[in-house]
Every structure is written in C-alpha cells, then in structure tokens.
Structure 1
Amino acid sequence: LWGLPEPGQLPWSEVRLSPGAVVALAGLTSVSDWIASARPEKSYAGLDVDPAAYLGQARVDEARKIGKLAWRPWQPPGDTGFTALFPEEDRPRPVQVAVEAVVAAMQGPGIVVAAAPTGEGKTKAALQAAAAMVHRFGLRGLYAAMPSRVTSNQAFEEVEKLMEDADVPVRLLHSAAGEYLKGRATAVDPAAALRPVGVDVDGDGDGDAAAAEWFAHKRGLLAPVGVGTVDQALMAALRSSHVFVRLTGLSGKVVVFDEVHGYDVHMSTLMDRLMWWLGCLRVPVVLLSATLPSGRQHVLVESWRAGAQGRKPGRQVMGELPGVYPRVVWADAGSDAVQVVDVPASELNSDRVVGLEHVGFAERARWALRQAGEGRCVAVVQNLVRHADEAYEQILQLVAELPQEERPEVFLLHGQLGDAERAQAEAEILARFGRPDAHREQMRPQRAIVVGTKLLEEGLDVDFDVMISSVAPIDSLIQRMGRIQRHRRDGDRPALLLALTGVEEEANKVTFPRYTTNVHAEAVLLRTWAVLRGRTQVRCPDEVQQLVDLVYGPQKAVVCPPGWERQWERAAAQLQRTIADREEKAEAVRLPQPRDDVQLWELTARATRANRTRQDSYRRDGGGQ
C-alpha cells in the first residue's frame, strides 16, 4: 500500500472490492500490523524522531522479521510428474496416473476428487497434483487437511520427505504437534521470539493477546507448506475474529482434504461454505475419499464451481450421479461441465472378496483370541472408547490364562489415551503392522490383537490378517475392510474376513450395544445392517459405490425388512430432525455467501469461537474416537 496518494485525494466512495480483495486486504493489513508490532518496548522511537530515517530503518528491521518467518514460496522441481517426485515407487497406480493426467489438462485452478479404495496411493496422488498446480499456476504452497492427528502425523512425514530438496519448512498443525515432534532434529524456529505488542490499543479486546496467539500457535497456516487437521481449514468458514487471516492463509495454495466422507453434519455444512469461498478465491482443491456418496460429491464440487464462477450452487439432478468406482472427477473455473474419469483399481484392490460372518458382542474377545491362536494378526474395531476398553480388558484376561508361548501381543489405540501414550501406541502399531519392508517384517508379531476405535480406519497405513468390527455406517465398514491385508506380504495368508458384531435381531426390533446410537445415527445403522444382513461377502471395489449410495441415498433405496417398520420410521424421522437441527446451528455460525457486495464486517459479525468446527456427536450420521 506504500505509495498510494493521500486518502483525501481519492474517490473512496467509488471503490468496489471483490470478496477476494476484501479478504486479501484485511488479511494483509492485520498480519502486517502484527509483524510491525513485534518489537521490544525499548525500540520505541519517542517524539523527536526523523520520519525519513525511521522509515529507512523500519524497512531494514521489517525485512529481517519477515525473513525469520521463513515464508518462502515452495518452488517444486521442473518435472512434477509422479515418477520424478516419487522415484521409490515402482510404477504409478491407476488413480495416480489419472490424477496426473487431469491436472495436466486443467486450464487454471480447479477441483479434483479422487474416489478410490484404501491402498491406492491417493495421498501421493494428491501431493503430485499439488506440486503440478503450484508449478503451473504460480502458487506458493499447499495445506494438507487430515481427519485426525494420527493421519496428520503420517501425512507430515510424506510432505516433509517431498520437501527434502526444497528450502521450505513444513509446519505441523494440531494440538499435539509438539509432543509428536519432540526429540526430532528440527531447527529452532527463529520466529518464535516475535511477539506483537501495542495491537488494537483502542479496541475493546486484548489485541496483543490475539496477535500473540496467532504468532505462537497458528502462524503455520500462513506458512507456504503445512499439514494438520481439517479443523484448521474449517475455521476459515466460521464467522470469527481474524477469519480473513485464515482465508488469506489458505489462498495462493493447493488445499488437500482427506477422508472427506467422514465429516459430521456440522463439519459438512461448514465445508460446503468453505468450498464456495475457496472457489471464489481460485484456491485449487483436491478431495480424497474411499467411500464418498455420489450426492455428497456433487454438493462439494458444485459449491467450489459456484464460487469460481460467481454464482450460487445449483441443485443436484439425480441422473447426474456417477456410478463408476474408482473414479477421478475434476473441473476448473472455466469448465462447462464436471468431467468423470473411470479408473481401474490396482492389482492389490482388484477383485477383493471379503467374507462376512456374524459374532455375538459378548463373544468378540474370544473370537479374536481364536483367530490369533491360528498365527494371525487380528484387529478389533469398536465404535466407542468404552467398548474398546472393555474388549481390551477381556482379551488381556483371556491371554493371561494361556501358556506363555501361546500368548499373542495385545495393543490398544483410541482417542482418549494421553498425548504421550497415544503417540507411543501409534508409533508402535505403525512399526509392527505398517507398510512392509525388511525391518518391519522382522518386527511384525507372529500373533497379535490390536484393539481400537475409528482411529484404525482413518488413514493409518497398517494391515491385519482378519478383523472383527462393531456394525457401523457402511462407509466406515468399507474403510475398515481396507485394513484387512492392505499390503502384500510373504507367506500364506487366510481368506479375507470381516466378522460383524454389535447387532442383534429380536422380535420386531434390532438392538445395538448401549450408547452406540449416541455415536452413530440409528437410521444409518439400520440401513447398513439391512443391506448386509443377508450377505456372506462383499466384492471390492465392484460393489462399494452401490452400497454407499444405497445407505446414503433416497429413503426408499433400501427396503425396510419385515417387522422393523416402527423402529425404522422412528429412526428415520429422528435422523432428519437431527440433521436439520445441526445444519441450522452450523449455518448460524458460518461465513456469509461470497457475494460481490459482501462487507468485511459480515465476516466477523456475531463472532463465534474459532474452534467450533465439530459437533459433540453424529458424523455425517455419527462419530467418535
């Protein structure tokens, strides 16, 4: 802004700013003020100051501060092809080839959706897409928005490896990042001492504290390359103080969202608005999912396109639903239509036939122990932490009765472990059951049982011989199936098997373990069980999209089994009331539409807490750690 004429000499009443300009100007002004205010009190210039000399020294000082922030744009190598970026991969998988091709065909920033089974290399495909778009469109970096801390940590390792030859630090953004990074040989952050003072001295709040909070904990979102939880990105969709700084932090980057099928109603409502704003700001987006319902895909893509084209999102026409899977879907700002690319599965995921069997809830521990007794690594996945803890204790008691040489190793992972304990558990499970290499194959137990919650389904790159899982929404179950023999290993392995527990049919009633419907919507559990109860197997990937769209499609897509009618109708009505209530609450706190005449004050009016990105329960239907 330096060099503009005096304010009185400009016709400010005639100035019109686009939504992008409003965000950029507000974000630039706030961050510039914070950087300029980060100075020791002894540097106060006093009243007798030579303005010209002060300005000259300030330019030197401020340049030094900005240098400490290390906000250098990422400059990918000239060759951003997949094999050039990831030479350790023998050959790209089909979804990786398809993503590279569609990004090369883009005429400008756009949106890409990769819907493919777990193990297809979607994360690396997204990183290749990000590198190519940063290079082609002159962007400054990327932010990878992951569903949880454990997946953020994994993605951080991938991104940091990608950046090995780039002079750009990678920021890890989540509440336990410090614990994860403890002990690593990371460089001292030279910007840590920057603390703004004297900010907004005429305002009502504590301007120094707000600015210091940003610089102490949230500065990473402004850095060119960052990895963290999706919450850090969704905060940019909340009406809150400094939300324009968050939007500025996302602008000029490629933003990758992983596991987008798993967002709860509140998160999805915020996500739709964020997509609209990111499209308006021409921020390229890559969405990844193994089980994305077709209708949800339409809403996300259409929201981004509406923002990019300066219009409101259109309604979905049911005939437009893509039936192909795996697939890559894409559009850029100038596209007349969304393109759908049919992608074959890799050899690993082709024609996977997963057997199904039903096990009583009280027998789940004994079932797991019998499987481990056959020399197998078994996963026990529960919907609630309390059920995981119960299963873990039962298994330990049963193991204690066995001879020492027959005892399997037993592990526990869920979100209520302490930060240090959880980090240790994640690291050990990854080391023992992760992607095979010479070292890990030696560490893999001969027999083991891993008990956990949905953390075992969300992006954790581990695999087990067989699994027993509580009945959960169909997308979660398919995600969990993807952890069964996810990697190729030496030696014979048993047939693919998923045992389902936590559901019993009584006379005219279906029951689930206590508190389950506090986490997952009863209607979605009923619809899931209705489509699976008569099956002895699921063919992946052939039946994945069909099953997901049945459960999350129109009410009549799944026929209510005889005798369930009363419970079925009551649960469906409750789900609709819950969704409407949660959507209304999310709409009350999310940003306004990016209208041409949007005003800055609208972004912060009736500001809410910036951490209101998730609801207490129910994902798209329900959730829990």
Structure 2
Amino acid sequence: MCPGSGLLKGQLRGGFCLYVSGMACDGERGSGLGNRLRGPVRSVWAKHDRDAEGWLPLWRHMEDSAAVAGLLWDRWLPANVRDLISGALPGGERDGRRLAVWLAGMHDIGKATPAFACQVDQLADVMRAQGLEMKTRRQFGPDRRLAPHGLTGQVLLAQWLEEQHGWSGRQSAQFAVVVGGHHGVMPDHGQLKSLDDRPHLLRTPGPSRAVWQRVQGELMDACADEFGVRDRLAVWRAVKLPQPVQVLLSALVIVADWIASNPDLFPYFPQAAHCTGAERVAAAWQGLRLPEPWSAEEPPQDVGELFGTRFDLPPGAVVRPVQAAAVRLARTMSQPGLVVIEAPMGEGKTEAALAVAEVLAARSGAGGVFFALPTMATGNAMFPRLLDWLKRLPTEEGTRLSALLAHSKAALNDAYADLMRKSAQRIAAVAVDEEDRPWRPADDKRAASAELVAHAWLRGRKKAMLSSFVVGTVDQLLFAGLKSRHLALRHLAVAGKVVVIDEAHAYDTYMSAYLDRVLSWLGAYRVPVVVLSATLPAGRRRQLAEAYAGAESTVSAEEFEAVARTDGYPLLTAVPPGGTPVIECPPASARETSVRLERLDDDFGVLADRLATELEGGGCALVVRNTVNRVLETAKVLRERFGDDAVTVAHSRFIDVDRAAKDADLLARFGPPGKSQERPRGPHVVVASQVAEQSLDVDFDLLVTDLCPVDLLLQRMGRLHRHQRGHNQGDRPHRLRTARCLVTGVDWTGPVPVPVRGSVSVYGAYGLLRSAAVLLEHLDGPRRPVRLPQDISPLVQNAYAEEAAVPPGWAEGMDTARQRHEEHRKDQAERAGTFRLDAVGRPGRPLIGWVAAGVGDADDTRAGRAQVRDSKESLEVVVVQRRADGVLATVDWIAPDKAGLELPQDRPPAPGAARAAAACGLRLPVQFSYAEVMDRAIAELEELYVPAWQVKDSYWLAGQLILVLDGDCQTRLAGFSLRYSPCDGLEVTRD
C-alpha cells in the first residue's frame, strides 16, 4: 500500500486492506478519475479475488475500461467502424471516440448498488462503515437476481441523463442500453419494469438512500468530466442513434470490459495501488499486443499487375474478363457495397473475390476479410490460400495481421496449427473461452515484418471472429442473424471486414432466411460484401440485392426487377448501400466445353458395363451419387468389375483425417495439369457423393451422375473436362475427348420420370423434376449438347422460374410435387423466423429486448449449426480402437507416427496421441439423428467415460463421445452394426 494513503482502521478478514478517503496514494497524483472522488464513493468495489485476497475499487475499473476503450478506438477498431459510429454524431470522429470511452467507463455503474455490493461480506462491511447501508445477500433473497448490474447500470444512467440533463426516456434509452447489454444481452421491458417495482435494489431506503444517490451521482459526474462529455450531453440529446451504432458501441464496451477485467493485465489492489492509471494501462496494452487492423492500400491500377503480384498464377496465365471487370466495377461503384459475381466453374472467382476485397477495403476502411464457405472441408481448403494471399499483400514494416480458421475443428487443420505454433513462439498462446477466465499476458518480443499471428486472446469461442482475417463456415456468418448471447460481438466482427460468401446457390430456404437478414444488417453497417456463385437463380439474385439494400432503400421495385430479368452470363451485379443496382455482363473466357448428355438406366450392372466400354482405352471417370449408401453399393459392384485399385470412394462419412487425405489424393491424381503428378494411366473410377461438387479443382474424362437440381448438376459438370489436356483434349483417351455426362438415378420409362427414393429424400421431387424438364432438349431427339458456359444461366433460370413450362403429360405429377415443395418452403421460412434477429429498426429506437426469447449461446457445435441449418442434429464421435490387449489406442491405419498410439484411461494421454485421436472425428449418419436412436446411442457412448480425459491438460478429448472399434474396425451402437474401412468409410446396417 502506498505511504500516505488514508487507511481504514484495522484489517479486513483475508489480510487485505482498503483505503477510502484522505490523501491519494503516490500513484494517483495528477489527473484521473480517482482524483475527482473523495469519501464513501471510494469504498465501492467492482472486483474481488477471494483466493488472492485482492479487490478493485469501482472507480479504478471504470477508469481502466475507459482507457482500454480509447486504445481500442485508436489502435484496433477498423476505420469503417469508427466512421459509422462517428457519422451518427454531430462532432464526428472526436465525438465518436468520446462517446465510446465514456460508455466504457460507465459500463459498471450498476455495481454501485446494494444489490451488487452485498455479495462480499467484508467489502460490504467497509461500505456500510461509510454510510452505504445495505441488506445482506441472504436478506435480499431471490429479488436480488432481478437486479443484475448491467440492468441496474442502464437504469441509473438513464435516470441521471433525464434528471440531471433533461433527456427524455427515449433519448436516454438509446445510450443507456449499451451499458445494460455489456454482458451480452440487452435488457427487455419486462426486466426494466420488475426493477422499477423494486427501488430498494438500487438504493437502500431510509437515511442511507441519499448516500447511495450521492455516490452514484458522484461517479457519473466524475466520468462525464474525466472523459470530456459533459459539454456534449446537451448536443447529443438531439441525436437519434442508429441501431447498428448502438450494437457496435455495445460490442466495443464488451471488449474493453473483458480486457480491463483480466487480473493478469490489470492487477487488483493492494498490489496495484502504487502505479498510476497511465502506467497500468500502458503495461497491460503492451502485454496484450493486439494486432492492429489491416489498413488496405489502393492496389495497382493495372489488373495484370494486381493478379500477378497477389496470386501464384501459372506461366502464361492472363487475367480473365470476369476478374478484370469485377475489379473495375469495385473501383467505380458510387460507394463500396454488395458485388455479386456469377461466373462458370473454374473461372477464378476466388481470386476475383480477394482482389475485389482489397479494392473495397481500401475504399471503405474495412480492416479485414471474412471468407464464408459451405462446409468445414471447403474452409480447410481455403485457409492456406488466404494465407498465401496475405503474405503477398503490401504492408508497412512491423505489421502484424491476425488470421483465424473459424470452425470447431480448426486446430486439426495443418495450416492453422502451424500458424498457431509460430505464434506461440512469440506470444503466450493460451486459448481463452470465457471473458472471466484469466490468461497470461504476452512477452515483449518484437514481431517480424508482416507477421501473421493466430492471437491467443482472439481465439476464444466468443472472440474468434474478431480476428482481422477469418476463413470459416457460412454458419459463422448466419449466427449474426440468430438471437443469441453476445450477438453484438459477432456484429462488430463482420462490421469491420469485407465479407465474401462462396457457393451462394448452396443454401436452402431456411438458411437463406438467415442470410438475407444478415445481409440487411451488413448493408446498414455499410459492409462491403462479395457473393460468388456459378449457378445463381435470378430470383435469388434479386432477393440478395433487396436484402442488402434494406427496407429503407429508395430504389424502386422496377430497378430490382431489372436485376432479376437480366439473362447475361457471366454476370456482375453491384448494389451500393441504398443505391441503384448496377449490372455488367463481361465476356466469358475463351474456355468453352460442350457436354453431351445421355440417359442411363439406374442399374448397377448397366453402369458397370457402360464404364467398361467407355474406359476400354483408359481414362478417369467420376460417378456422383446423391446418398452415401448409393456410393458404397456402386463401389462394391465396380470393384468386382475393375478391381479394388481401380475404384476410389469419396464421401462425407470418413473420419476427418481420412477425409482430408481423400481430398489431397484426389487433387494429386485428378487435379490441374502441372499440379497433379499421379493421374492414373489405366481405367479408374471415382465414386463420390456431393463432396465432389464444391471447391475441388479436379478434372475427369467422363461423368456419371444421379439426377439432382440443375444448378448442382452443372457444378458436377464443372469437374468434366475442367482443364485443357493437350490440343483439342488430345491427351485424353480417344473415346473420351468429347465431354459426356450420363444422367442416372431415375426411372425414365414412365410418362413422368421417377427419381430414386434417396434422391427425393435429399432434394425433394419438385427440384428433381424441374431439373429433368429443362434437360429434356439435351436428352431427347437431336440431343443438343450443353454448352458451358453459355447454357448455365438459361438452364438455371428456367429450372427456378416461377412460371416454368411443363412438359406434356407431366402436369399432374409436377403440380403435386410443387405443392409439397411450397409447403416445405413455407415451413422452413416459419421455423427460421423463430429465433431470427429482427430487421434493423429506425434510428433512435433503443435496442431494448434486442435478443429477447433467443437461443442463449450460439457456437460452432452440432447443436449450434442445427440452429441455422434445416438439418437434423447429428452425433459426432471420436473414433479409437481397442487393441488385442484391451488398451485403447489411435486407429492403426493413419500416418505411422500417429497410428496405434496408446490412450491410457488412468491418466491424460500424451498430447500427440490425444491430438491424433481428435483428428479421427466422425459424424454419424442420419440413422442416429432420430430422437429415440440418438438418446440410446448417447447413453451407450457415455458408458465409456474417462475422467482422466476431462481435465484441462487433455482438452483434445475432453467432452468428446468416443466410439471404440475392435481390431476388425467393427462395433455395434443403438441397434446398428458399424463397420469402418479406410477405403470406404463408415458402413451402417441394422442389426
């Protein structure tokens, strides 16, 4: 304790002492919130550590939080976020910073209430001695839970603004709600009414009430003076704060509070009582070392130079017209906004998106990029590409950029794991999940120029998206439209970035309802968004444009209708925030493919015979099935005909490490010329599920596919003759130099095609019949080939048109299928609305009850993903084996250094063994998603509960469901027999 400080007489239990009045200690001389306060107000506490016998006065925590908010504003918050906040205030940037600092300082004012202060007896006794009488925690009873300090803080601030500064209730609420929501949920009207009915929770009745009121007023007055807002309050009274600004301020206050609440960065008293506030904050910020946001420079005007310096292009590669046009459009938009890029498969949309993102970031002040992809597998494939791009960006010396792979199994991704290892060498890399869990500050080693880091503090479950550059599943974006705790943080994360949404056609009505709501908020935040698709229906294009423009847009319905009527392809659509859509139709590249379609009877023997004929002279065929069971049945038949070595299986029912190896193997053997080194010379067939549709740059000589919606069928066709192999495809087997696609999975013999049952369960009958209908001219008569890319847009638009032509004789079957389809879409939309975030409210409307009746926490778990995807909740397990001696071990067929590692049950496994086991995660198929079967399966899996694996040192396996296979890779679960094969994945049969 500093000499000269006024000490309370005696020592409190636990051995720590308090000062509440008299001279300031040496460390408080000069300016500061503490210097403005005397008497009882100094006894009000904010933090207490029972174990370390430390405490923190409220004024100090308020000062810490305000200082952190100022540093976040100056050094961490992207320019576009600062601009949006500042633009709502008459004093611009200066007002924006002052408001953020003041609200961060005020966030815990609700702790200056008896409902909070009574929680620690010895600290409450000190306050009582200063005239702040209060009941004990027991005496308050259950009523105390009606007064969380965020709620009481909102009420106190609103009262102060209204009583001392003449604000109305509506005017004060739009500012005070930021304080009320600093623990992740804005209070609702019911909570405010309950507290209003219990004033004793705010101030103890009787003589002590005046002391409480004086202390609360002194704290708020001191904050207004210390943080420079007193003379601004009269001006701000007339401000109508937009809801997006309220959200961003709330998120900034949350982040500032979390940092200032970390006792390793901001130690408690008495240990910390000797240092000044400035010294304290400087030391904490140096220890935290948050990477600053990306400050994008305007990229080279020459598009060839831009692409040549940013991407690893093959020799002689030229920028494609779509890529050049997209960059030009991004540069000439009236304001950075939404850019939709529709172009054929293999046209370089990913590179175009990153180039456009760089332009839009430079123009808007965005501080990073979020790349949203449909699946974890596509995210894993994208992450190293993003890192390569980041390494090529021009940056100032010493720049540190934070990067993150955002999905639940990111730590198993080699590229991300390598980034974490490198970061850990410079930073104390400790994963932090919750805001109140301590972590050790970083050391002070200086980073190299343009360092990419997976920052420890930004890897927590709630903070991950705050990294500057993020690759993740689209679920992470859709969560921004889900009423959930700490939603404001997700909004801050996306508001400061350029958002790229890949494979936009892949999302059904349920997911699209969330995506459209998120887009409406992104438009309100003026976030640049890039949407990519090869096969986007015109109606969906219009919906995306309207959602981004927002309900308040002045753009006419006719202008949006023009977006839907456009039939050009490739196609670029730009929508400035609130502005008129701009449409451009650049030419396609010179790459063209004509694909001849044929029917093929749905018979495994017929398929085997046809492939034997087609591949007689060698060649590589891709067979795509709509269900995993059909994949496995097909592979069994084809292996009997061609041999085991000539058939490869790929689907989603492999353990993670095998799935990654499958993708790598496919790329190595069937990837682009010059990159694939092992393309089979003899006949080879890959039998795959939908995993072959997305983000795999593979190239086959022949395609066989089950009938599916036409946009997805075109995606599959994008894997056929994807690259030029010799002049006029002369390096392909002679019979396969013409691209051909055989369509099966349908009984073609009746008046109306009948798709196989599995396909109907996946896609619905209507989408399959619409697909068959638009393909008829390519399947019948002269059988005009499908020309890629010319026919992509016409086929997709005709298949999804509201008033589509019906082939003769199909009317009854089509009407029945359409009715079921519309009922299903209506049901999806209604269910999506249950927890979907409301639309952006009018400026000045407070965010009271913003996420009321929400889902609680939302994260990237199987339960979390089920909230934004219309799919049954699935079970995920970690697969291990039981050796002959009874010991559990990692499976024996993976890499030699990871196979067969012992997993002892009496102690935590070695870290390498635990990680190797965790890499063998597997999602069980739909049979285990039905409630009764799932409950039985969980109960059986939980019989293997290993307490030694649940400790902190064994986080790889903690909380996981373990599926144990025997030496023959078999087991039984919930009435099913399970067999796993590294070649075929998981096979499930009913006992």
1:153 Cα offset (Å):
2.3
1:328 Cα offset (Å):
1.0
Preserved CA contact (<8 Å) 1:372 1:408:
no
* Greater CA drift, 116-125 or 455-464: 455-464
1:169 Cα offset (Å):
3.9
1:372 Cα offset (Å):
3.5
Preserved CA contact (<8 Å) 2:541 2:563:
no
Distance 2:868 2:721 in 1: 34
Distance 1:135 1:395 in 2: 54
Report the equivalent of 2:649.
Answer: 412
Equivalent of residue 641 in structure 2, options 376, 398, 408: 398
Alignment gaps of 5+ in structure 1: 201-211, 401-406, 618-623
SS of the residue corresponding to residue 450 of structure 1 reads strand
* 1:369-423 superposed Cα distances (whole Å, 9 cap, x missing partner): 44333311111111112111221222222223xxxxxx76322221221111101
* 1:40-94 superposed Cα distances (whole Å, 9 cap, x missing partner): 59x75236863x8363343124313541x43542535752754334314321001
Equivalent of residue 353 in structure 1, options 585, 589, 594: 594
Give the partner amino acid of 1:581: D
Distance 1:214 1:185 in 2: 17
Preserved CA contact (<8 Å) 1:20 1:280:
yes
Distance 1:342 1:285 in 2: 19
**Matching of residue 252 in structure 1 with residue 476 in structure 2:** no
Distance 1:182 1:543 in 2: 38
Preserved CA contact (<8 Å) 1:269 1:586:
yes
Equivalent of residue 433 in structure 1, options 670, 685, 689: 670
Matches within 5 A, 1:76-225: 76=297, 78-79=299-300, 82-87=303-308, 88-89=312-313, 90-166=317-393, 167-181=400-414, 185-186=418-419, 187-189=422-424, 190=427, 192-193=429-430, 195=432, 199=436, 215-217=459-461, 219-225=463-469
Distance 1:387 1:171 in 2: 36
Give the partner amino acid of 2:597: L
Distance 1:492 1:141 in 2: 43
User: Which protein, 1 or 2, shows the higher relative CO under an 8 Å CA cutoff with sep ≥ 6?
Assistant: 1
Equivalent of residue 456 in structure 1, options 686, 692, 701: 692
Distance 2:649 2:389 in 1: 31
Give the partner amino acid of 2:275: A
SS of the residue corresponding to residue 471 of structure 2 reads strand
Alignment gaps of 5+ in structure 2: 1-65, 68-97, 107-156, 173-236, 394-399, 438-455, 859-863, 873-925, 927-984, 986-991
Report the equivalent of 1:604.
Answer: 851
Give the partner amino acid of 2:770: R
1:194 Cα offset (Å):
5.8
Preserved CA contact (<8 Å) 2:624 2:688:
yes
1:367 Cα offset (Å):
3.2
* 1:440-477 superposed Cα distances (whole Å, 9 cap, x missing partner): 24555543211111111112111111110000001001
Give the partner amino acid of 1:430: L
1:39 Cα offset (Å):
3.8
Preserved CA contact (<8 Å) 1:38 1:196:
no
Preserved CA contact (<8 Å) 2:299 2:306:
no
Return closer, same or farther for 1:23/1:370 CA change in 2, 3 Å cut-off. Answer: farther
SS of the residue corresponding to residue 168 of structure 1 reads strand
SS of the residue corresponding to residue 164 of structure 1 reads helix
Give the partner amino acid of 1:541: P
* 1:477-511 superposed Cα distances (whole Å, 9 cap, x missing partner): 11111111111223433201110000113444532
* 1:583-602 superposed Cα distances (whole Å, 9 cap, x missing partner): 01112211101112554344
Distance 1:513 1:264 in 2: 21
Preserved CA contact (<8 Å) 1:38 1:194:
no
* Greater CA drift, 212-221 or 585-594: 212-221
Return closer, same or farther for 1:509/1:341 CA change in 2, 3 Å cut-off. Answer: closer
Distance 2:598 2:527 in 1: 46
- Determine what percentage of the aligned residue pairs are the same residue: 31
Preserved CA contact (<8 Å) 1:118 1:290:
yes
Return closer, same or farther for 1:333/1:272 CA change in 2, 3 Å cut-off. Answer: same
Equivalent of residue 716 in structure 2, options 466, 480, 500: 480
Distance 1:91 1:143 in 2: 27
Distance 1:183 1:128 in 2: 23
* Greater CA drift, 299-308 or 25-34: 299-308
Equivalent of residue 659 in structure 2, options 409, 418, 422: 422
Preserved CA contact (<8 Å) 1:359 1:500:
yes
Matches within 5 A, 1:166-565: 166=393, 167-181=400-414, 185-186=418-419, 187-189=422-424, 190=427, 192-193=429-430, 195=432, 199=436, 215-217=459-461, 219-306=463-550, 309=553, 317=561, 320-333=564-577, 335=579, 337-348=580-591, 350=592, 352-363=593-604, 364-400=607-643, 409-437=646-674, 440-443=676-679, 445-490=681-726, 491-493=730-732, 494=736, 495-535=738-778, 536=783, 537-554=785-802, 556-562=803-809, 564-565=810-811
Preserved CA contact (<8 Å) 1:432 1:440:
yes
Preserved CA contact (<8 Å) 1:415 1:422:
yes
Distance 2:557 2:279 in 1: 50
Distance 1:213 1:237 in 2: 24
Report the equivalent of 1:27.
Answer: 251
1:115 Cα offset (Å):
0.7
* 1:559-592 superposed Cα distances (whole Å, 9 cap, x missing partner): 1431x33322211110000000000111221110
Distance 1:240 1:213 in 2: 21
Preserved CA contact (<8 Å) 2:538 2:563:
no
SS of the residue corresponding to residue 498 of structure 2 reads strand
Tell me how many residue pairs correspond in the alignment: 595
1:196 Cα offset (Å):
6.9
Give the partner amino acid of 1:25: L
SS of the residue corresponding to residue 566 of structure 2 reads coil
* Greater CA drift, 604-613 or 474-483: 604-613
SS of the residue corresponding to residue 743 of structure 2 reads strand
* Greater CA drift, 360-369 or 2-11: 2-11
Report the equivalent of 2:136.
Answer: none
Preserved CA contact (<8 Å) 1:469 1:501:
yes
Distance 1:480 1:236 in 2: 31
Distance 1:319 1:20 in 2: 27
1:215 Cα offset (Å):
4.2
Distance 1:293 1:472 in 2: 15
Larger-Rg structure = 2
Return closer, same or farther for 1:321/1:550 CA change in 2, 3 Å cut-off. Answer: same
Return closer, same or farther for 1:57/1:446 CA change in 2, 3 Å cut-off. Answer: farther
Preserved CA contact (<8 Å) 1:150 1:460:
no
Preserved CA contact (<8 Å) 2:554 2:578:
no
Distance 1:183 1:246 in 2: 21
Give the partner amino acid of 1:607: G
* Greater CA drift, 528-537 or 506-515: 506-515
1:524 Cα offset (Å):
1.1
Distance 2:692 2:473 in 1: 16
* 1:502-551 superposed Cα distances (whole Å, 9 cap, x missing partner): 01134445322222211102111111112213422212222221111111
Preserved CA contact (<8 Å) 1:528 1:551:
yes
